[in-house]
């Protein structure tokens, strides 16, 4: 049996779909190798007098063939690849020797230094990217390096965006960007931004992250402001569909969560109706996170066990009607309601909410411009107007708003207005 020197490397990826692979051994290592091989489409035969529970379950399900006995040289006949995973040096030697005589590549799991072939440490990311690390027959070192590369990819810090468009299928991702601080983006959101060909964003998204995208990424601002729509929703839907049909990866970056007053449902339905693959990526909703940044929990033991989140941009009628159906200790969380706050507060008092009920308006939550105005239901509108509170803002009405006195600001915004976002 010939064993190549340590530095004799020739990296190669194999398409094992429908091809026979023999795994000799029935322990945990054999189970892991079998799982990976089946994931790669291989037809796996396991040879061992005993099996782990996982291998037994695969056998019973008909997922693998099992020869419940000791290894024989003839077991490698017809195989494209062999894995020796018994942990017994003599048996593994026999397996590798049998494979070598039949001109079949083999992997010796227990001793990479004496193995004709060895497996790289691999990891898969979204959009078909696979990382494989070969560390000179040092599996543990390769795994550590693989994990480090995977972490970088997860943070969106590697240039993994596709460069060839021809023949590929586009995809739309509806990504929640959280309340404003880029640090509150999810790991998946960062990863998808690193893959994006097009980013369709709005004014409430954490736009500081866009400065770090490659020059070739198209950025489309469709931001809406109170009383002004930069682009009608129907046109936004068409934009997402058209770009995806061009074979592009489209990230629709929104503030908060796409399905919390973000019209994400409308955009998802438009994509599905057009036959465009679409996926939603949840974000940290401002309805809860912005009050938290100002030291206001929307529920608190002994104070409030429920909260009602409402859109208040159409005025007080709907707010009052919904609030009337909730217990008196339910916290009211109002989004897009600054413009109508005076009317809303007056209507709530008229319909039974105490005039001295604590209230707060938190503007620009989780950004360096965050400001908080507190008062009572009777005074909050006047104080907010005097302080110049403006959208985007979250209004909290309920006893929990009084907890800010003890908790204070709890936000840590990573957006620096002078220097930009730093990862």
Residue 80 domain-assigned?
yes
Among 233, 250, 284, give the residue marking a domain's end. 284
Residue 27 banded pLDDT, cuts 50, 70, 90: very high
Residue 202 annotated among the catalytic residues of the structure: yes
Residue 154 domain-assigned?
no
CB contact at 8 A, 154 and 190: yes
Residue 322 domain-assigned?
yes
**Tokens 């099992």 map to which residue?**
66
Q: Looking at residue 294, which CATH number applies to its domain?
A: 3.30.950.10
pLDDT of residue 239 exceeding 90, the answer is: yes
Name the more confident of 32 and 139: 32
Residue 319 domain-assigned?
yes
The verdict on 314 and 251 lying in the same domain is no
Give the pLDDT confidence score for residue 325 in this predicted structure.
85
Residue 414 domain-assigned?
no
Give the pLDDT confidence score for residue 399 in this predicted structure.
96
The verdict on 297 and 391 lying in the same domain is yes
Instruction: Report the mean per-residue pLDDT for the chain.
Output: 87
Task: Domain of residue 390: give its range.
Answer: 288-407
Residue 23 domain-assigned?
yes
Give the pLDDT confidence score for residue 420 in this predicted structure.
39
pTM: 0.68
Beta strands of 36-78 (E only): which ranges? 43-47, 65-67
The verdict on 191 and 303 lying in the same domain is no
CA distances from 308 to 25, 39, 258, 292 (A): 58, 45, 18, 15
The verdict on 349 and 402 lying in the same domain is yes
Residue 224 annotated among the catalytic residues of the structure: yes
The verdict on 12 and 100 lying in the same domain is yes
Mean pLDDT over 153-179 rounds to 77
Give the pLDDT confidence score for residue 114 in this predicted structure.
85
- Name the range with the highest mean pLDDT among 61-70, 111-120, 209-218: 61-70
Number of domains in the chain: 3
CA distances from 5 to 107, 108, 336 (A): 15, 15, 68
Give the pLDDT confidence score for residue 110 in this predicted structure.
82
- Residue by residue, DSSP assigns 384-418 as HHHHT--SSEEEEESGGGGGHHHH---------TT
The verdict on 280 and 187 lying in the same domain is yes
The verdict on 345 and 296 lying in the same domain is yes
Query: Out of 75, 202, 254, 257, which one is annotated catalytic?
Result: 202
Residue 250 domain-assigned?
yes
The verdict on 280 and 330 lying in the same domain is no
pLDDT of residue 302 exceeding 70, the answer is: yes
Residue 421 banded pLDDT, cuts 50, 70, 90: very low
Q: pLDDT over 90 for what percent of the chain?
A: 62
Give the pLDDT confidence score for residue 155 in this predicted structure.
67
The verdict on 32 and 60 lying in the same domain is yes
Give the pLDDT confidence score for residue 154 in this predicted structure.
66
Give the pLDDT confidence score for residue 285 in this predicted structure.
94
Give the pLDDT confidence score for residue 175 in this predicted structure.
97
Q: Looking at residue 192, which CATH number applies to its domain?
A: 3.40.1010.10
The verdict on 223 and 257 lying in the same domain is yes
The verdict on 252 and 296 lying in the same domain is no
Q: Looking at residue 25, which CATH number applies to its domain?
A: 3.40.50.720
The verdict on 186 and 251 lying in the same domain is yes
Query: Out of 224, 238, 329, 343, which one is annotated catalytic?
Result: 224
pLDDT of residue 136 exceeding 70, the answer is: no
Residue 391 banded pLDDT, cuts 50, 70, 90: confident
């Amino acid at each position: 049996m010939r064993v190549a020197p340590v530095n004799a490397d020739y990296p190669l990826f194999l398409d094992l779909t429908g091809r026979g692979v023999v795994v000799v051994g029935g322990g945990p290592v054999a189970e892991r190798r079998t799982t990976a091989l089946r994931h790669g489409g291989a037809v796996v035969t396991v040879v061992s007098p005993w099996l782990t529970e996982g291998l037994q379950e695969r056998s019973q399900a008909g997922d693998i063939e099992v020869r419940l006995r000791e290894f024989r040289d003839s077991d490698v006949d017809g195989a494209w690849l062999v894995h020796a995973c018994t942990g017994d040096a003599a048996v593994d030697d026999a397996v590798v020797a049998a494979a070598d005589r039949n001109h079949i590549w083999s992997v010796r799991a227990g001793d990479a230094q004496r193995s004709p072939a060895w497996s790289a440490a691999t990891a898969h990311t979204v959009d078909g990217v696979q990382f494989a690390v070969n560390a000179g027959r040092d599996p543990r070192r390769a795994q550590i390096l693989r994990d480090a590369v995977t972490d970088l990819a997860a943070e969106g810090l590697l240039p993994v965006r596709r460069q060839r468009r021809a023949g590929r299928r586009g995809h739309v991702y509806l990504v929640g960007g959280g309340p404003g601080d880029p640090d509150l983006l999810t790991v998946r959101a960062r990863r998808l931004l690193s893959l994006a060909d097009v980013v369709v964003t709005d004014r409430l998204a954490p736009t500081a992250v866009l400065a770090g995208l490659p020059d070739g990424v198209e950025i489309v601002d469709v931001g809406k402001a109170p009383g002004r729509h930069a682009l009608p929703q129907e046109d936004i839907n068409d934009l997402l569909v058209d770009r995806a049909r061009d074979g592009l990866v489209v990230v629709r970056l929104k503030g908060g969560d796409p399905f919390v007053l973000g019209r994400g449902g409308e955009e998802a339905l438009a994509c599905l109706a057009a036959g465009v693959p679409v996926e939603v990526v949840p974000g940290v909703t401002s309805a809860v996170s912005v009050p938290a940044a100002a030291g206001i929990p929307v529920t608190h033991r002994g104070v409030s066990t429920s909260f009602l989140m409402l859109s208040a941009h159409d005025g007080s009628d709907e707010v009052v009607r919904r609030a009337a159906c909730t217990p008196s200790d339910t916290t009211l969380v109002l989004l897009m309601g600054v413009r109508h706050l005076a009317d809303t507060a007056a209507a709530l008092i008229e319909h039974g909410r105490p005039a001295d009920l604590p209230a707060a308006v938190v503007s620009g939550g989780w950004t360096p411009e965050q400001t908080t105005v507190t008062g009572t239901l009777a005074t909050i509108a006047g104080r907010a107007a005097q302080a110049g509170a403006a959208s985007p803002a979250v209004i909290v009405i309920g006893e929990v708003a009084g907890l800010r006195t003890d908790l204070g600001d709890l936000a840590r915004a990573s957006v620096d207005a002078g220097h930009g976002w730093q990862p």
